[in-house]
Amino acid sequence: MFSKNEKLTKSEVSPEMEGKETNTAVPVGHLQQGPTNEGDKDHEPIKSDMSEIDQNDECQLGTEIKPQLFENKVIEAISTVFDPEIPVNIYELGLIYNIDINGMKDVHIDMTLTSPACPVAGSLPGDVERAVKEVEEIGGVSVELVWEPAWSPDRMSEAAKLELGFM
């Protein structure tokens, strides 16, 4: 980010500064708005024409997608994957246990299947990986098949339960 107490070379030092360290650190953080103390009347609040970014806006700055919207895009991609024996997407079925997204937009997904003997055990994790790789700005994608805790119909969303006649 920045360096603290950086020493200048001999050619950069003026005679009056010779032998002294120079702090070149630039503070990172919020700009102070308004007076710092009640008695500090020399500072005016900072005024700007910029408005706060709308929560529904997909872009935060430039083309960077907000973390929650990015996660929603990953969930949308996962929701396009169906277990071929069940007419509900695997997200609504509750087969996705965890979605972890790091700062580089690498995605790690823990998922399970309805049964260890599921005939699509070899292909469904790959289908999930391929679907998520289609998300714009995605980094790497890894999908891990887990068996703990065991899946049960209780993990299904209400929409999935309704679709499958559980409600």
For residue 95, the enclosing domain spans: 67-162
Strand-pair category, 96-101 with 107-111: antiparallel
**Could you read off the pLDDT of 95-147 as tens digits, one per residue?**
999 999 998 999 999 999 998 888 888 899 999 999 999 999 999 999 999 99
- Domain annotation covers residue 123: yes
Rounded-to-5 percentages of helix, strand, coil across the chain: 20, 10, 65
Q: Is the pLDDT of residue 14 over 80?
A: no
pLDDT higher for 58 or 140? 140
Q: How far apart are CA 74 and CA 136, in angstroms?
A: 9
- Domain annotation covers residue 27: no
Mean pLDDT score across all residues of the chain: 73
- Domain annotation covers residue 154: yes
* Per-residue pLDDT at 106: 95
- Domain annotation covers residue 129: yes
- Domain annotation covers residue 38: no
CATH number, domain at 102?
3.30.300.130
**Could you read off the pLDDT of 39-54 as tens digits, one per residue?**
444 444 444 343 344 4
* Per-residue pLDDT at 84: 85
Q: Taking residues 59-81, what's their average pLDDT?
A: 78
- Containing 135, the helix (H) or strand (E) segment is none
- Domain annotation covers residue 11: no
pTM for the model: 0.60
Domains identified in the chain, total number: 1
- Domain annotation covers residue 108: yes
- Domain annotation covers residue 37: no
